Amino acid sequence: MVSMEEQLQPEQVNTDASVSPTPPQPAALNRRSLLQIAATSVLGVGLARPALAAETTPTLPPQGVALEPGYSPNQPIHRKVSNIDDYLFRLPNGDVIGDYILLCPQKMGGGTHALDLKTGTVMASIWYWNYGDYCPISHHIQAFPSSNPYEGFEFINSCQGGKDALIFGIPTPMSEPAEGFNMYKVKYDGNMMVLEDNVAASTGLGLGVHTTIKPDDAQSYWITDGQKDIAAWFDRGSSQVKVALKYDWVPNVPELDQAWRQGGTLKVRRIYPDATTGLFDYQGTKGLKIDWEMVPSGELLVEEGQIPGQDVLGLCGADGTIWHPSGRWAATLIRLCGGLVVLDAQKNMEPVTFCSFNSQTPDHYPVTKTDKDTWEIKLDQVGSPGHESGFSPDGKYFCFMNNGRENALGVFDSSDPDPKKWKKFAEIRDPLWYGRYPEPFHMVFTPDAKKLYLVILYPAPAKSGVMVIDTETWKIRKEIQNIAPDVESITITPDGRYVVGITGGFQRYRSMVYFIDTRTDELVGFMPSPGGHHDLSLVPRSVDELRWSRSCML
């Protein structure tokens, strides 16, 4: 066998006329070696020919050999290096959005890509099936701050799995998908995305829904799962669990259709890993109370018996934990109970109070501690389930979507340093909000907290839109209708100039990124983004920018 070193030597001429030259034999190379050789050739390493000196005169072909058409030994070749940054993506009015990187998880596509909003190009992608995950429903995401995202940044990405693959109306022969429920910490190194850790495998916790980063230091994050009713607070550096809370519902009545409306007890319990292995036992589909997630406005499907599972009556739908902008408080939204459990970050996430957003319920229900790791909250009734929630960047306001029955946006004054003194003071309704759709859905405040943008979700293929609310009067200012089917999460650029939204989260319809100019509240343009997205995250350049990110509002 000819060695690689021998292959790279200049061809030797046999000067012995009596011996016939033996043609060189190719080496047996595998595909990886061929790819490596090709790569080094392209990069000018190893196989690259040395450049001719500038004064060298090219050698003419020997006499009798026909010249190729256009051949001229002395004709200079004009070469120009192109720079992708010179080719800017412009909106129809000519504006450039800015130097922002948008992370786009592709839901059923099984991966995530980084979209450069300056050029309109995809900078890098990652595909989790390549790491042995054969049901990677790339769901929610958030990026950690980076002073120069183009040189590198880090993000955390939760993925669903199991029978969640069967609920989007996509024809499939699958009946028992792979388990999934992995959480990935990924780094973009300036050229490509690198998988740093599968946090589910490292901890034994598989959680697939909202992901939020602590906004005062960016050194920890929550991932919460509404099928398992588990919320976990992770350390960024080690990926270890700082606190894990399990939420369980004990209804006052056993009948499914009244099990939440007639009230019950919400139990909150700290859970711990196995002392011998250091791991929890909730990886994959272990611990699921229901077989698939509650889709938007799907809370009432539970009490109607349309979502099967091993512990439907014990479900409360704890599927997201957000941060107060100060980082002092966190709050887990409890969908089926229509409120949030406020947690004290300085006391190991001990529950403080339950904020109820229904119009006919008290502002708060008290928390009773029953032992060092268990708390109970007794609710006499639940008027309406709810879903997304969020704090304003200044921490003065706190919103929650009452969907399903009340069809309203509830607003709390959260300016008091004591969460038990936060008060309901406003409720926003629209005559068009009746029944289950349309409903107020994802939200984002402007950085100055003067406006709130709400996704208004219609059932696809009907097109959804975005509503603009004045937070000084808490009145509806405008609704931008008919954007696209399946309008999903929204965010805002740090300069407050553009609301950035994404579509296609249920995989069947048009997928894109769209932009609303906050000066005019007009839809001003679109950017291609294939794959179908349920969430998005702009890479922040500072910790301060987390205050108006996914950290504080969903």
Query: What is residue 46's predicted lDDT score, i.e. its pLDDT?
Result: 40
CB 440 within 8 A of CB 454: yes
Q: pLDDT tens-digit profile of 526-546? A: 999 988 899 999 999 999 999
Contact criterion met (CB below 8 Å) for 485 and 503? yes
Average pLDDT over every residue of 412-435: 94
Report the mean per-residue pLDDT for the chain: 89
**How far does Cα 231 stand from its chain's mean position?**
17
Would you say residue 29 has pLDDT above 80? no
The 10s digit of each residue's pLDDT in 443-484 is 999 999 999 999 999 988 899 999 999 999 999 999 999 999
Element (H, E) at 141: strand 137-143
Rounded distance, CA 554 to CA 552, Å?
7
Answer yes or no: is pLDDT of 408 > 80. Answer: yes
Q: Which amino acid is at 465?
A: G
In a domain, 11, yes or no: no
In the structure, what pLDDT confidence band is assigned to residue 365 with cuts at 50, 70 and 90?
very high
Most confident of 35-39, 316-320, 437-441: 316-320
pLDDT > 70? residue 19: no
**pLDDT tens digits, residue range 328-347?**
999 999 999 999 999 999 99
Dihedral of CA atoms 83, 85, 87, 93 in degrees, nearest 10, equals -170
- Examine residue 5 and state whether it is found in any structural domain, yes or no: no
Quote the CA–CA distance of 350 and 356 in Å, as a whole number: 18
Task: Report the alpha-carbon distance of residue 456 to residue 433 in Å, rounded.
Answer: 9
With bands split at pLDDT 50, 70 and 90, how would you rate the model's confidence at 296?
confident
What tens digit of pLDDT does each residue of 217-273 get? 999 999 999 999 999 999 999 999 999 999 999 999 999 999 999 999 999 999 999
Confidence of residue 71 (pLDDT cuts 50, 70, 90): low
Residue 501 lies in a domain: yes
Other CB atoms within a 10 A radius of the CB of residue 526 amount to 17
Enclosing H/E stretch for 157: strand 153-160
Identify the residue with better confidence: 174 or 188.
188
Per-residue pLDDT, 18? 43
Which of 251, 456, 247 lies closest to 331, judged by CA?
247
Rounded Cα distance between 405 and 381, Å, is 13
DSSP tag of 282: B
The answer to whether residue 351 is domain-embedded is yes
The pLDDT score that the predictor gives to residue 5 is 40
72 in a domain, yes or no? no
Which strands make up the sheet holding 397-402, listed edge to edge?
386-391, 397-402, 408-413, 423-428
Q: Is the pLDDT of residue 41 over 50?
A: no
Does 84 map to a domain? no
Q: Total structural domains in the chain?
A: 1
Please report the sign of the dihedral spanned by the C-alpha atoms of residue 480, residue 484, residue 485, residue 489: negative
CATH number at residue 526: 2.130.10.10
**Which pLDDT score is estimated for 49?**
41
- Residue 172: left (phi > 0), alpha (psi -120 to 50), or beta? beta
CB atoms inside a 10 Å sphere around CB 352:
20
More reliable by pLDDT, 436 or 132? 132
State pLDDT tens for residues 208-232.
999 999 999 999 999 999 999 999 9
Report DSSP state, residue 496.
Answer: S
Tokens of 168: 């989007």
State pLDDT tens for residues 89-120: 999 999 999 999 999 999 999 999 999 999 99
Residue 91 in any domain: the answer is no
Q: pLDDT value at position 64?
A: 57
Q: What is the pLDDT of residue 43?
A: 45
CB 497 within 8 A of CB 518: yes
Residue 404 pLDDT: 80
Range of the domain at 309: 100-548
3-state secondary structure of 129: helix
Asked if residue 265 belongs to a domain, the reply is yes
